[in-house]
Structure 1
Amino acid sequence: MKALTDLFRDWMPHQRWFGGKGREWAEVSENGFFLDRGNPVLSVHRVRVTYADGARETYLVPLSWRDHPAEELESAFVGAIANDGKETYAYDAMRDRDATPSWLIHLVNASTVGPMHFHPAGVAYIPEGLPGDIVSGEQSNTSLIYGQEAILKLFRRLEPGLNPDVEVHAALRSTENEHIAPLLGHIEIDEDDDPSTPPATVAMLQTFVPNASDGWRLATASVRDLYAEGDLHADEVGGDFAGESERLGAATASVHADMAAVLPTEPADDEWYGAVAAQMNDRLTAAIEVVPQLAEHAERIRALYSAVAESREPVVRQRVHGDLHLGQVLRTATGWIVLDFEGEPARPLASRRELDSPLRDVAGMLRSFDYAARHMLVEQPDDTQRAYRAQEWAARNRAAYCTGYSTASGLDPCGESPLLRAFEADKCVYECVYEARNRPHWLMIPLNSLSRLTSHE
């Protein structure tokens, strides 16, 4: 229906989860089905966008339909379409509370509706009948919280195959690891063009963790406390975060150990080290096109990558988190919970499922400590006192995290590892591209970190 594809063409580029912002559309198509014919009617659409460069992406868009405009849903309005001489009004169904109970009802019943299949995990109660409240601030996905009991994450961009977040949580269920939120179920959708293609993961339902604080907010509150105390060191301030960082390191090690126990592992061979270095070099070359300031660091960064190609430090490759940082962890009354095992959503699904070194996750968290310490320097880049205190906070919490990881695992992740330093540099390069495109005034953070990394300070 052209009227519907026109709505999607106008509406989708303004949504946070849409990854093709700024790209020219060559073509858009959609196919949909009804998930609930109640009031409101709920339909689910796969929207395929073909860009001018030939690339294609498929997005999942649930819509709720009403006969009359709903003033309370004005911010969720998608558009109106003529239907039998009358207007019907389409809304983003994830923001329409009346349309949200259907997902859990179908999960409880293990339904199949059209091409969509609902798979309850069968291990815990699913709160059937509750409406879901949307989680604000998300970028690549959309989540609904159902009371204090469950959270549904809808994967907006679809790819064939089981999403790593579902796969890892399902595998970890048998370990009863205390640092994850148990999986309650997941939803898949068949590929309509090719029945031989594996179904794509649409959504997953997990136990909700109430009264929890995310790691980024806790860490940055600690940094603010330090900045407010002009004559105290990081270990003297009431909001010292090092104890939490150490416990977070232990939690990371625990999750890594259980992932290695229930998912595939294999020792790294000589070819793997060279391949990792080559991939990093390719990313750096592409990044310099976007961030010319990287060129002055390029020679020293490539030296770090060369050390990886020549390294033979023992590595057992395993499944890892893939995008670990302070925003991916929650602090509850009893400890840390690690979230979102889907990896970097922008990367292809197959690459996110590849075996890797756990140091990839360690490097991501170490970079996050740097960001927490230095993000408040953006407005005062010449404040040398604050810069010193930021460095002190970052060093203290990075060391505490490594201590926690080492104590729990028996492995020191932060020794003189060429691989860790290269992973950190690679992450910095990624951050430079992100900041240049989204927050140019934050670009100083990863650039300054690269200066420290490559000078071995």
Structure 2
Amino acid sequence: MSEAVTRPGITTDALLASLDPLLRAWLPRQRWFAGKGRPITDFALVTATELLPPTSELGLLHLIVRVRQPQVPTQLGGAPAPPADCYQLLLGIRRELPPRLAPALIGHVTRGPLAGFTVYEALHDARMSGFLLEALRVQARIGKLRFERDPHKDIGDDLAPRMLAAEQSNSSLVYGDTFILKLFRRIVPGVNPDLELPLMLAREHCVQVPAPAAWLLGAGEDAADDVNVLGVLQPYLKGTVDGWELALQELAADRDFSDEARALGRATAEVHLALARALPTVTLGRAQMELIAGGMADRLDTAAKAVPALLPYAPALHTTFEALADLGRGEETWTAQRIHGDLHLGQCLRSPAGEWSLIDFEGEPSRPLSERRLPQPPVRDVAGMLRSFDYAARSHEPWAPEWAGDCRAAYCAGYEEVSGRDPRTDPVLLRAYETDKAVYEVLYEARHRPDWLPVPLAAIKRLSTNGPATDPH
């Protein structure tokens, strides 16, 4: 692999001038672009690396672009959107785009040093995406980019790439049904849990989480030794089905899901135990529990201002958080540790043999990275999964509350089989975290999917009563 090179005569400013009008039109159309609904006011290049030699007939540009937008509150209140986000882009450069790459077109450059060239999304080009795997295989260093790998993992050099169509906040490439490369689009400075935690779990021989085979790092802006995680290569679990799709299939066929839920509870507990071995745990006492309860109450107040449908339930929900604060005033303490942070059925894959794997350890993207990396009570993950069972049941017509109740009970029982503790034996903590999650869901659905708002509102109604937290009715 060659060192980073740039085409003669191209400066950063000139490159940006060439690409600016194309990116202004293309970026807002991408599903992973977080600034939809706000105009782009300015671009800045954080890094620009040409991955192919300047003598090549093709070009491959790796860019980290800072996109500036007006800092305005979101439509339904809450924290204001950030004035600037950084995005990772991989741009292919050709004189002419072959028909097979037409869907990847970004635009034709009309000015600046790239005038006369066509720019496109390089991940759609097998030659370009194949280069990324080769760079990881040989541990290339290109400019400020570091392609690293686990030396004990065999990465073949003849794995055909394909881009997955279901893009969300990131983009993924599958190589020969052997590996999957997740490329992070919105780059947040700091240690990314989606690499940090699976690496730690691999050292603990935790088979429930695919071990990273390689990863792409880039230099940070603030310090010479600061790095950003740009991508992670993991085993591709061929033949697996994600838990959400599997749950909906079983519901549609009127089949019981409790055996799968119990097995998923066991897998979750295995991951929690491995994380507790791998990373430090902390003890939560009165001050910490009051702080947690106060944060939940503040989030409820913010959500209730933005979504008036929450207002009738707010007083009763506040008593749940007050009960959590009162709980901390006793002699009991709780353990907090690193957890998944955004656990739901869609983050779980079941193999044909019935084994569950947990993936996507980024945590909730809307929360700051520093918060996502804090130790938290494991019951927060449990509450997220219980809410996911309820979501699945609510998406079925007619609503299947008994199905959700059976799944929730089986999941908790499976969790106890491995951990030795049933989450339902701590009902105040479990109810508080499930309520906090439902409040988050109400705000999310009101902003992004109003048709789904009745799903978390039904949970809010249930949780505002005095019934047990795991009662599906």
TM-score (norm 1): 0.91
Please give the residue correspondences for 1:217-232 in structure 2 after superposition, counting only pairs within 5 Å. 217-226=245-254
Please give the residue correspondences for 1:232-243 in structure 2 after superposition, counting only pairs within 5 Å. 239-243=255-259
2:268 maps to 1:252: yes
Answer with 413-422 or 239-248: which moved more: 413-422
SS of the equivalent of 2:208 reads coil
Aligned counterpart in structure 2 of residue 74 of structure 1, from 102, 111, 114: 102
Please give the residue correspondences for 1:314-393 in structure 2 after superposition, counting only pairs within 5 Å. 314-334=333-353, 335-377=355-397, 386-387=398-399, 390-393=400-403
8 A contact 1:151–1:205 mirrored in 2: yes
Answer with 302-311 or 195-204: which moved more: 195-204
Answer with 256-265 or 291-300: which moved more: 291-300
SS of the equivalent of 1:10 reads helix
Answer with 147-156 or 194-203: which moved more: 194-203
Taking the aligned partners of 2:301 and 2:102, their CA distance within structure 1 comes to 45
Cα deviation digits, residues 164-209 of structure 1 (max 9, x gap): 0111111111222121111101111112x43347211100111111
Partner of 2:414: 404
Taking the aligned partners of 2:192 and 2:114, their CA distance within structure 1 comes to 42
Taking the aligned partners of 2:26 and 2:321, their CA distance within structure 1 comes to 42
SS of the equivalent of 2:195 reads helix
8 A contact 1:104–1:129 mirrored in 2: no
Taking the aligned partners of 2:85 and 2:114, their CA distance within structure 1 comes to 33
Cα deviation digits, residues 138-189 of structure 1 (max 9, x gap): 3111111101211100111112222101111111112221211111011111
2:142 maps to 1:113: yes
Taking every aligned residue pair, what percent have the same amino acid on both sides?
38
Cα deviation digits, residues 241-273 of structure 1 (max 9, x gap): 110100000000001000000111111122211
8 A contact 2:337–2:378 mirrored in 1: yes
Aligned counterpart in structure 1 of residue 463 of structure 2, from 449, 453, 456: 453
Taking the aligned partners of 1:51 and 1:279, their CA distance within structure 2 comes to 28
Q: What is the CA-CA distance between 1:333 and the residue it aligns to?
A: 2.8
Partner of 2:117: 88
Q: What is the CA-CA distance between 1:98 and the residue it aligns to?
A: 2.1
Taking the aligned partners of 2:160 and 2:24, their CA distance within structure 1 comes to 29
8 A contact 1:223–1:373 mirrored in 2: yes
Match of 1:134, as an amino acid?
Answer: M
Aligned counterpart in structure 2 of residue 165 of structure 1, from 170, 194, 197: 194
Taking the aligned partners of 1:343 and 1:86, their CA distance within structure 2 comes to 41
Partner of 1:26: 41
2:452 maps to 1:442: yes
Please give the residue correspondences for 1:414-425 in structure 2 after superposition, counting only pairs within 5 Å. 414-425=424-435
Q: What is the CA-CA distance between 1:416 and the residue it aligns to?
A: 4.5
Taking the aligned partners of 1:412 and 1:263, their CA distance within structure 2 comes to 22
Match of 2:464, as an amino acid?
Answer: T
SS of the equivalent of 1:421 reads helix
Q: What is the CA-CA distance between 1:103 and the residue it aligns to?
A: 1.5
Cα 1:86–1:71 shift into 2, 3 Å: same
Taking the aligned partners of 2:119 and 2:357, their CA distance within structure 1 comes to 37
SS of the equivalent of 2:425 reads coil
Answer with 128-137 or 204-213: which moved more: 128-137
Aligned counterpart in structure 2 of residue 45 of structure 1, from 60, 63, 72: 63
Match of 2:192, as an amino acid?
Answer: N
Taking the aligned partners of 1:26 and 1:448, their CA distance within structure 2 comes to 41
2:24 maps to 1:9: yes
Partner of 1:209: 237
SS of the equivalent of 1:182 reads coil
Cα 1:197–1:450 shift into 2, 3 Å: farther
8 A contact 1:127–1:149 mirrored in 2: no
Answer with 255-264 or 74-83: which moved more: 74-83
Cα deviation digits, residues 42-90 of structure 1 (max 9, x gap): 1111110122126221010111111102222222211111366852111
Aligned counterpart in structure 2 of residue 181 of structure 1, from 207, 210, 218: 210
Match of 2:233, as an amino acid?
Answer: L
8 A contact 1:5–1:29 mirrored in 2: no
Taking the aligned partners of 1:165 and 1:218, their CA distance within structure 2 comes to 24
Match of 2:32, as an amino acid?
Answer: W
Answer with 115-124 or 209-218: which moved more: 115-124
Taking the aligned partners of 1:245 and 1:84, their CA distance within structure 2 comes to 57
Partner of 1:292: 308
SS of the equivalent of 1:19 reads coil
Taking the aligned partners of 1:248 and 1:392, their CA distance within structure 2 comes to 19
Structure 2 stretches lacking a partner, 5+ long: 1-15, 72-81, 468-473
Cα deviation digits, residues 221-255 of structure 1 (max 9, x gap): 111122xxxxxxxxxxxx21110100000000001
Cα 1:197–1:48 shift into 2, 3 Å: farther
8 A contact 2:52–2:60 mirrored in 1: yes
Q: What is the CA-CA distance between 1:129 and the residue it aligns to?
A: 4.2
SS of the equivalent of 1:376 reads coil
Please give the residue correspondences for 1:117-196 in structure 2 after superposition, counting only pairs within 5 Å. 117-191=146-220, 193-196=221-224
Taking the aligned partners of 2:403 and 2:290, their CA distance within structure 1 comes to 35
Partner of 1:283: 299
Taking the aligned partners of 2:370 and 2:305, their CA distance within structure 1 comes to 26
Q: What is the CA-CA distance between 1:39 and the residue it aligns to?
A: 5.3
Q: Across the two proteins, how many residue pairs are aligned to each other?
A: 434
8 A contact 2:243–2:350 mirrored in 1: yes
SS of the equivalent of 1:105 reads helix
Match of 1:282, as an amino acid?
Answer: D
Taking the aligned partners of 2:105 and 2:378, their CA distance within structure 1 comes to 43
SS of the equivalent of 2:51 reads strand
8 A contact 2:18–2:114 mirrored in 1: no
Q: What is the CA-CA distance between 1:123 and the residue it aligns to?
A: 2.3
Give the ranges of 4+ consecutive aligned residues of structure 1 lying more than 6 Å apart after TM superposition: none
SS of the equivalent of 1:20 reads coil
Taking the aligned partners of 1:199 and 1:416, their CA distance within structure 2 comes to 40
Match of 1:370, as an amino acid?
Answer: D
Taking the aligned partners of 1:320 and 1:84, their CA distance within structure 2 comes to 48
TM-score (norm 2): 0.88
Taking the aligned partners of 1:102 and 1:4, their CA distance within structure 2 comes to 23
